[in-house]
Chain A
């Protein structure tokens, strides 16, 4: 066990966990922030995507000991960012979700895409969203919502 100071959605959080614990489980079980999801544990599905210093990252394979003071933003905090809010609103407007379980990760990947590439092409979308699995396969509307958010952010 070791103690870590984390910066989550702009707040300081202290946790006492095994150093090997992936950030995902620290968020879910220690900090009770369950919006970030477990889907595979091997960074193959993207359901656990969070931003580490603005970079979309699979939290299921990042041990908490390697996070250090990087800024962590999760689905619970992304709405405070204008791009994050626009993406969430576009997701609701386009009625993207079905079961909804993967959508936290989809939104986190989409926000990172739009922050880096405000006018993404279909190819940009496929590259950035290519590792986020949606078993309901809501991909058609994910594309539409990203384009719609991009328009809204003009």
Chain B
């Protein structure tokens, strides 16, 4: 009867998962649990799945006792290589000291459960995979317990697990490593009981990163560090104006350099360029410097920042496509002009400039290819490489490499970096090619946070609160003409351009937001926190201005204006108020407090900063932030994301924090002319307080970014009496 039950169970489970036991290279037994593989065809057909899955989908109990957990997305600083394994390990009752982690290659099984492609973005790593990794852990645990119960001829309910050991009545105990082999023969349960939050032993604890040591002793390999036998390095000379084409080129001097292997024209997403392939990077770069290229720049728009501003300033005075309209749009006109504010804002293009420059490595073998890419978008990158090489995506083995930052720059819909690498690798069958973007290529290479203009007209009610609000936003769409268009553009409005305004947490009765999306010959891209970068700045500086006009405390004013349903943000605001009250009331002379609060990616943040002016720049002495992100899976990660994320947010306040164009050409070159924050520019200290919660966790990668710049300029406004509506921030 037991066998019959087992068979029946197995027929149920085979659609959902399968198991594998395989011999290790050293002859030891490796046990791999494959879980939650998508259904692959009719019953009994699982011997020939349509796609090859990697040998260890999520959990691998190794004979040496290590528990290898596979992370279904890129690690690029946000800490998921630690926090996703924490979730699985907790439900599995694993001993954390046994846990090691690896990044998953591209495969269907690793697609984001919400987005349906394999990616990192939208602060979704924990928010989307929390439940998934819990279930994986709980099922693994159930199988280990079932294996122990079978061994002891007991029922699973008579057994319990703790720290990688299953215990039974009497003195029975078995380590997970001993049970792994038997557990792999257990059916994968349809359902397994998940813990109550009170039972968590790893989730909710401050746990240090698993990748710290190798990142402190130089041993961590990033994409750019890849070194394969016979590997060649490629750099590409790109046109000085986006879309320019090579008319002709002279490579005589370039080829004269020892170690240069090939120089040839390649098509780019727009226009064309000249690829130089050499044995070494330094050789390739020198050769590129010696190319004489005659560019055809005719018939393409030459963007020019000052002209664009004029055009945007005109557009912003007209109503665009409606993003949201609430109440009576003409209410504004009934408010006397003396009780109105008209504010116009300017935001420049911003480059992401992750510390590790963009790169991708590809080896093409004719009927297969292998790729190594620090990628936020494995699915798109793998498809693009396959397309270039005339292969199916599953013929491209795609390794996710650790990335030195990204901030959105490695999540490119057109996958232009791996595409270029594949185009070059196609010419070198069997030879691995590493495509390398220099910092200059990166700063000048486009895919920027778009330039934006905002114009806001506010009518103030007798109570000092905004009674009418008319808001126009001008900026390029991030997704027009891409597969993302259908679900991100509604009524002609790109949601990523109006997020943070259209969905404001403030209760404004007559509220009207519209947007224009002009087409400009500048490639644009999401930049950490996307539309919130400019929308939070506009909203939070205006709310602050309104509070000042109403002669009210900025925290009290915000609290009064928040919608009743904005509970998450209200709790963050209250906690920030409480935790910063003491220092806010005892500031030294020449210092001022700036306040902001903002919800993005379902995480609510409130921020207070202590700012003075030094060397005509803001000096941020201190910040207190309160975060409401539901359950904090790893409070240490949440704290570090906020401490550092505020610093990242200072990018848009930097004196040289802008990408500008003159006659089609980017005017900046490298960190000397596009200068992100250094240690003196970032807050000296940041205290992070987390609102206690057992609600589903929400992301913490992007929400730190929007709050800092409005908080800082709100403090500056107190010091100088001026309002700051144009970024980057000029000398004070």
Contact = CB atoms under 8 A, between A and B. Distances in A.
User: Bound pair: A and B?
Assistant: yes
Interface of A: 1, 18, 20-22, 25, 28-29, 32-42, 44-45, 47, 74-76, 79, 88, 91-93, 95-104, 107, 122, 125-126, 129-143
A135 B353 contact: yes
Interface of B: 76-79, 208-209, 211-213, 215-222, 224-225, 227, 258, 280-283, 286, 353-357, 402-407, 438-439, 636, 640-641, 643-648, 650, 670-672, 676-680, 682-686
A72 to B, nearest CB: 13
Given A97-B215, A139-B647, A44 B77 contact: no
B671 A95 contact: no
A101 B439 contact: no
Given A42-B439, A137-B648, A141-B644, 19 more contacts: A34-B224, A35-B218, A45-B355, A88-B216, A91-B212, A95-B636, A97-B216, A98-B78, A100-B211, A101-B222, A101-B356, A102-B355, A122-B684, A130-B678, A133-B355, A135-B353, A135-B355, A140-B682, A140-B686
B216 A140 contact: no
A135 B217 contact: no
Nearest to A122: B684
A99 B404 contact: yes
A141 B643 contact: yes
Contacts of A136: 77, 355, 405, 644, 647-648
A140 B220 contact: no
B647 A137 contact: yes
19 contacts: A25-B281, A39-B355, A39-B356, A44-B671, A76-B217, A100-B402, A102-B404, A129-B679, A130-B678, A131-B678, A132-B679, A137-B645, A137-B650, A137-B682, A138-B643, A140-B643, A140-B644, A140-B647, A140-B685
Contacts of A41: 438-439, 670
A36 B225 CA distance: 10
Given A42-B670, A99-B354, A137-B644, A37 B439 contact: no
A40 B684 CA distance: 25
B682 A139 contact: yes
Which 3 A-B pairs have CB atoms at the shortest separation, nearest pair first? A35-B218, A137-B647, A101-B404
Main secondary structure of the interface of B (DSSP, over half): loop
B403 to A, nearest CB: 7
Main secondary structure of the interface of A (DSSP, over half): loop
B676 A133 contact: yes
B357 A38 contact: yes
A35 B672 contact: no
- With most chain A CB atoms within 10 A of its CB, the pick from B645, B648, B671, B685 is B671
A98 B640 contact: yes
A91 B214 CA distance: 11
Contacts of A20: 286
A86 to B, nearest CB: 12
B710 to A, nearest CB: 17
A141 B280 CA distance: 36
Contacts of B670: 40-42, 44
Contacts of B648: 135-137
